[in-house]
Structure 1
Amino acid sequence: MGLTEDLYKQYQSLFAQYDYVIGKVVSHKKNKKSSVSSADSEEEFFSSEEVDGSNRRRSSEKEQKYVSDTVKQEPDRGDNRDGKDLNQNIDAAESERKLTSLMEEMKSLSNDKMDLQLQIESQANEVKQLSIKNTELHNHVMELESLLKEKQDVVSKLEAKLDNSEEQSKSNIGKLMAQVNELVLETKTLRTEKDEMEEKIKCDKKETSNEREDLMKKLKVMQEKLDSQEKLNKELETKMEGKGEEISQFLIQIENLKANLAETKSTEQTMMEEKADLLARLNDMELELEIQRNQTKKLEEQLRDTNYEIKQMTNENKSLQDRNDELKAAMTQRGEDISSFLMENNSDENGASMEIMALKAEVNEMRLDLDNLNEHKTKLEIQNERNQKEYAESLAKMENLNTKLTTQIADQAKTIKDQLLTIDRIKAEQKETMITSSKFRLSQRVAERKMEELAEKVKRKMEDNIRLLHQRIHVAEQLNNENKNSCKLIMLRYEQENKILGEKVVFYENELESLKGAATASEVTHSPVIDLKGFEFEAALNGLDAAVAKVEEHRECVVKNVSKMLYEVQFAKDWIKNMNVEMKQLKDNVDCLTTLLNQKEEQGLLLRDKVWNLEATVSKEGGEKLNLTNAVNQLEKKVAKLEKNLKEKDEDLDSLGEKKREAIRQLCLVVEFHRDRCNYLMKLVTNMRVNKKKK
């Protein structure tokens, strides 16, 4: 409505401006010359739509000729009137200035007139387009009315079907109610029978419960005894297992020390391989993380793009709203200008304003009628929709009632069957309980005998195992003591042999030194003193009392003996040296063995440290793997959240697009409605003008 009023106001303002401009031009020309007034006065009676291009050109040519003639006549008059007063010359100069100003005003007014005519033509074209759209909308309305009629026919048919279905449902409900009453009577009879059976079952249950309580008490006593025996057996078994484990641990430690060297090497290789595998896995995990990061980046970029598109859409909406506001403001300004202009020319247009007000009143009445018709149409559509909904709801209710009744009947039948089955089961259970009670008593006695026999067998086995373990422990202790004693004896023998060899070495060295001194003395001097010394030496060694006199005679024999002694001494020295070498080798071997043992122990410690470090690294790597898996899970959760957010935003965008489409459709409908109103008003105005001209 506002748009039509604004267009109507613009249309009136254009006509008023055009009439006002023409009136000014005519008034100026009437003041100067009466000939120009006739040409200009004709234009007041014609509207902007009836004036042709040829008449416009003729009027402009006449105006230009008139101005040129006036300009030419005035200098001629000035030449003929040289003898007049100075006052007339001043008046002529002022009239020339006025003419120039009027010419400029005429040019500007003619330009404004052309612009206004172009605007009027463009508005006429828009009016034609709106009329075409109006016809299309009228056809669409006719189609909708035909569809409405078809829907009304369908509704009438559905109502007839509803009535038929209601009658059928009433008949079905009567039948079902009769069946329900029969079932209620049957249920009452069954309940009475059930109560009687329950009383009998209660009596039987009491008897069986008393018997069961007695049996359970006896069983509890037997179980307590069995539990106590089992506890004793378990304690003995734990003790035996502890001792056996200690012995096995000693043996295992001896074997493990031998196997640790081979195992450590194999473990090192396996750990290296595991490290390589772990590094490869870590690299794969890092690649997967990078791929997931890239995917998250892509998703974030998509989110940014969607946010940017949303912002653009919001900005477009804002710009459209701003344009609407600007257009409204411009229209309000134009309306204010037109109202001010109309207030200035109220004296000339009172009659026209009255007619316009009457037309506006008629237009408003027509608008109210159209609004009432639209409201009536919407009410009818709403009623149709309500009727359809009520019909669908009633059908659904009837179907639900039918299903509920069928389910209730089936449930009641099932309950009756279940009750009968329970009664049969209870009877069978009673018989079975009587049979099982007799069997249980027999089995209980047999179980008691077997338990006693098993307990005796277990005790014997445990005692035999304990004796064997004690014997094995005693033998192992004796072996350990014997090994310790043998080691101590070997060490003592070794030390004694070392002492004896050291004493022999010292003795042989002293004898060698004494022999060397005696040999040097016998060679340098052959005095009787030397003979006496050699005799003493021989007497001391060989025990010969009468060798002094034969020394000179037997020098050669003495020399041979001395050489033999020297040879024996050298042989003894060589033997001692070999023994020393062997002792050194033995010491070296012992030192080597001790160093090897120490090295092996150190290697074992290092290997243990390495094993601990490797276990620590493995645990760290396991923790890192767990952290990585947790991080991956968190990333997957974030990705899922981002995907959800994307889906929600896509849904929001779709909803926004649909809302915009609906808003655009509504705006198009409003615009078409206002165009129809404008066309109608234009036709009314043209008819009114035609009527005025005829009058």
Structure 2
Amino acid sequence: MIKQPEIIGSIASHADVEAQIKDSTEMEKKVSKILKLIKSKDRPKKGGASKDSKKSELIGLVEDFHEQYQLLYGLYDHFRVTSVKKARGRKGKEISTSSTSSSDSDYYSSEDIDIINSNLENERKKAANKVKKDFETANFAMAELNHKVASTSEDVEALKSEYTAALRKIKELETINQHLGNEAEEREKELSAFGKELEGQSPPGLKSELKSLHCEKKNLEAQVESKTAEAKQLGEKNAELTAKILELELIKKEKSEISAMLKKTEDNENNLTYENEALVAEVSNLKLELDSLRAQKCELEEHIGSKRTEVVQDNGLAHKVSALQQELHSLHRQKNELSAQLERKTKDIFENLIQVETLEEDPARNTVAEEKILEEKDGIPKVGQDLELDVDSPHNLKNELEQQLRSKVHEIDQLRKEKEKLHDRIFELEEMLTDRGKEFFSLQKQSECKENEASTQIMTLTAQVNNLKQEMGSLQALKSELEMQNERLIQDFSQSQTLMENENTKLTSKIADQQNILKEREDTIKKLTEDYKQVKRLLVESKSRLQFAERKMEELAEEFRKKMEDHIRLLYQRIVVAEQIHTENKLNYRKAKERLEQENKLLEEKIAAYEPELYKMWDILKPGNNALTTLDLVFRRFHHDNGSILERISRISNEIQSAKNWVAGTNNEMKRLKHNMDGLTSQLDGKEEQELMLREKVWNLEAKLGKEGGEKLVKESSQLERKVRELESKIKEQDEKLLGIGEEKREAIRQLCILIDYHRNRCDYLKEVISKMNVRCRRAT
């Protein structure tokens, strides 16, 4: 039976449990209030008084929560000490009734311990959930910041791509201007060469044409000066672009500082997550240990229950033994009764024997008595056998029951020993539970410290978030300014493109005029050839005149051949240089194309990765897309104009080839004329008789022509040589000026290319850094 103080203790423990349940509900309400206050604290607030009141309310709730937690821990220690004392007090009792009562009291204490453990686990889970929610909110805020930074970086990259595209187009325009300048120079040189040839071949009637060519040359020089002025304007534009590039570099530096801040925040987040994971791992290990202890406790309780059932069964067997003992008593009674009956029967037999002896005298009675006696003798052994069987069966049952009692007593002794062992084990487990409770309390204190640190870090992170929002506002303002500058650049580019188109039209008209002039010169050359044939006919008439003319013609032919060879060499060198430039342009174009294809592949991969974000940003980037479409149209027009320029270059090369063919034809004609001269000389040898008649006339004519023609030829040749020298000096000066301008342009272009390569490398590095940051942010989320 359970004693009165134990019943009172169990009732008190149940009352404490109910009070703890109420306290746990109140604690849950306070925890929910604390979480609401923290969430409202994270949001932007208005008014300092409400902020202070909420802060004081939150501090009070946290202090109440800590006090209640300490009270619960004290109750847990009290229950543990009382359960240990009860277990120790019950150790010495070995009676079956006391064992049942002690098992009942232990059963109640284990329930109380389970309730306390469940309450503590619920509080720990709530605290862990609170910390997790705070970390999730902080991670969400960081993810939003990273997303905004990524969007700004994408905008900056788009502006950079537009800027690089504009620079490329400016470079292409500069290369086109260089090609046009080179073509103009080549045309000037060709015209000067043709002018020299015509001066060497033509009579003084071609001076007017040379003057017109000089006028055209002056016009071309004026065009070159205008081109140099345009090149200076482009240099100024390039200086402005370099200033803008420096501004972009400052923005990149600010962005690198932001990325460093983000890296620091990410490192702090990683450290917090690692610490949180370590705490969660420790808590999970403690959970596993508690689960193992609970499993051991359950196994022990099941074992105790089984032992209790066995004890109950032993009690049933004791009842059975008592019942069997009662049956034995009843059988002993029956045996005594049967022995009494036997004694009675023996007495009856003795009486019957006496009667037989008395009745032997009477024969009739003897026969009847004998029959009765025989019947009774026949019944007596049967009755004796039955009585013997009745006596033997209780003895056998008694022996069996005694053996069962011995075995049950032995089992009861073993169960008592096992019960003592189990009590010792329960005592050890309770000590383990106290140790684990202390460790859990220390870990909970550590978790509270970590929560306070996390709250401070969250406050610092919120301050950093606000600072980053301000920086984002400044970056958006810079973005709007850059967009305005980009629009201005696009307008300037469109104006420059219109100017280039106008200049291209002017150049085409000038090339057409030059072609007309070349046709007129070809007509004049044909006329000169006809005049030359007439002169030959005149020279055939006079041999001496012919010999002098042949010498002069040979000298002129050699000079012409040398000049033509020099011109051909120069033209060939220019063609080789032009072909090299063309091949270099092709290679550069192929490299640029391959690079653009690679960049397109990378951009396609990035587009595939950022498709969901691009759908969101599509509405924002519509004006940018319209600008890109306009740039694409401009680029197509530029390609069309480039194709027309290439056609013109091919046409000019065809004209140069036709000029080469014409020179070769003139050389062939000279050879044919020499052959004809040889034939004529043979005919003249055959007609010596006629020559003798005509010599006198020829000598007279030679004397007249020698005086007049020699003086004229000497004067004209001296004048032509002076003009050629002056023109060559002027051309050399202009060539030196053009070479100096070209070198300055090339140096400026090289410097721009170096700056552009540097900025491209910096952009690629920043892209890699931003991509890594995005990957880290995604992993963190």
Report the TM-score when normalising by structure 1. Answer: 0.28
Report the TM-score when normalising by structure 2. Answer: 0.26
Which is bigger in relative contact order (C-alpha 8 A, separation at least 6)? 1
Larger Rg: 1
